[in-house]
Chains A and B, each alone.
Chain A
Amino acid sequence: MDLSVIVIAVVMTALVFDFTNGFHDTANAMATSIATGALRPKVAVTIAGVLNLVGAFLSVEVAKTISSGLVDDTQVTPAVIFGGLIGAILWNMLTWLFGLPSSSSHALFGGLIGATWVAAGADAIKFGAVVTKILLPAVVSPILAGLIALAATYLAYRITARGEDGTVKKGFKYGQIVSASMVALAHGTNDAQKTMGIITLTLITAGALPTGSGPPFWVVLSAGLAIALGTYLGGWRIIQTLGKRVSEIQTPQGFAAETASAAVILASSHGGFALSTTQVATGSIFGAGAGRRLASVQWGVAGQMALAWLLTLPAAAIVGALAAWVASSGTFGTIVVAVVAIALIAGIYLASKRTPVTADNVNDVPAPPATPLPVNA
């Protein structure tokens, strides 16, 4: 196969993944703002989309981490990366169908690792880097975000207990809009870079860029636009899960959760840790729920999410490995993988039409059992 053809195919597939990453992760920034009514759904996703695009231009630290750290660049081919991306896209689509906020980052890394393993052997994977740069932050970050959100929520209610009710509600509502916007910006800063990293890795393996290169401008721009468009279209199913099924979120909790998420994501991004914004945002929302009252958190939903989180890396790795194995056979194999992937994505999309979740019905979920509030809210 002409190398330029497969490189173009991989770049296009990477941008499709970036798009799915956007609509899969819209909830991270905007679920609580939509749930509390601080922002109308369409306004929320528009703001998130624009800020994701802006965020994509703020830093390339994470992109450098991905392109030079996880796998041995010299043993990975564009066909392998193509297989990895297919695994990640399919897992993103499947979890979106079930409204589960699983990690797009883990899907990407899982797909890439599985594909690399099949094509080049286990030696091509830098397991130490996988643990230190990916898995460790992924375990620590949601717990950290949850604890921060819990403390912040508790303090917010405690401090404003004697405040004037209308002023406090209005103030936290505006605060929530600002903090949610910060998360959207942070998401663009962090997640758009993952696609930039993958495209850069592809260009390096194809010999179009020297080893250790950062992403060129056109890569930054196209990745930013893809994630922004996906974010704008809004993954309403996951927004509904995070905004309405975890806990009955109020504006102080939304503000605390979004502030905690923004702080963890921005600090980690600056440090070059490629963490999962989904897990951070989910941890924050659970922490904020627990900060008001433990009983208000739907821990059963947490169990479903935890299961999806555990399965993400191996499931994407298996699909990625299978796709890479077929694609590595040549042009025909690549076409087969692409056709099967498109058919599966179409099937998932059609299945979602049976129970559509849109901007109009995203908040139409029965509230969890009411619990008395400890302070005015």
Chain B
Amino acid sequence: MNINWGALLVVAFVSFGSAVGVVVLVSLALLGLSARANGTAVGDTGVAGGGSRLGMSSTAGTLVAGLCLLGAVAIAGYGLYIIIN
């Protein structure tokens, strides 16, 4: 009996890295979008300090969200690519 432990380990590491990576990236993106949402709300009400609770401005939050979502999409897209090819 020849168990291909190497292939199993690769599957385990790739699965763990990609899944946790995607969830973390999306979570960070939502944090960024929260800063953006807070900033928008501040703009509407005229109260100062929007987004500061999260430690980032509305613009920075949007940037972080965009980059993180891009990363998550890239991981998911690469996963599909290697399956197709």
Contact = CB atoms under 8 A, between A and B. Distances in A.
A67 to B, nearest CB: 19
Interface string B1-35: 11110011011101110111011101111110110
B54 interface: yes
Contact of B37 (A144, A164, A269): A164
Interface in A54-106: 58-59
Contacts of B48: none
Contacts of A290: none
Nearest to A127: B1
B76 interface: yes
B38 interface: yes
**Chain B CB within 10 A, most for which of A189, A259, A260:** A259
A151 B20 contact: yes
A255 B23 contact: yes
A155 B20 contact: yes
Nearest to B31: A163
A260 B19 contact: yes
A43 interface: no
B69 to A, nearest CB: 10
A182 B19 CA distance: 12
Contacts of A270: 82-83
Contacts, number: 125
Contacts of A125: none
Given A128-B2, A159-B24, A263 B18 contact: yes
A156 B2 CA distance: 38
Given A160-B27, A266-B79, A259 B34 contact: no
Contacts of A171: 26, 29-30, 33
Given A166-B37, A167-B37, A58 B84 contact: yes
Contacts of B24: 152, 155-156, 159
Contact of A132 (B4, B28, B33): B4
Contacts of B18: 263, 267
Given A155-B23, A259-B19, A259-B23, A163 B11 contact: no
B30 A273 contact: no
Nearest to B26: A175
Contacts of A271: 7, 10-11
Interface in A241-286: 255-256, 259-260, 262-264, 266-271, 273
Contacts of B54: 162-163
A189 B79 CA distance: 13
A160 B31 contact: yes
**Chain A CB within 10 A, most for which of B3, B16, B27:** B27
Nearest to A261: B19
Contact of A263 (B19, B29, B33, B37): B19
A266 B4 CA distance: 18
B16 A148 contact: yes
Interface in B63-85: 76, 79-80, 82-84
A131 interface: yes
Contacts of A168: 30, 34
A3 interface: no
27 contacts: A58-B83, A127-B1, A131-B3, A148-B15, A151-B20, A152-B24, A156-B27, A162-B34, A162-B53, A163-B30, A167-B37, A168-B30, A171-B30, A172-B26, A182-B76, A185-B80, A262-B19, A262-B79, A263-B19, A263-B79, A264-B15, A266-B83, A267-B79, A268-B11, A270-B82, A273-B7, A273-B11
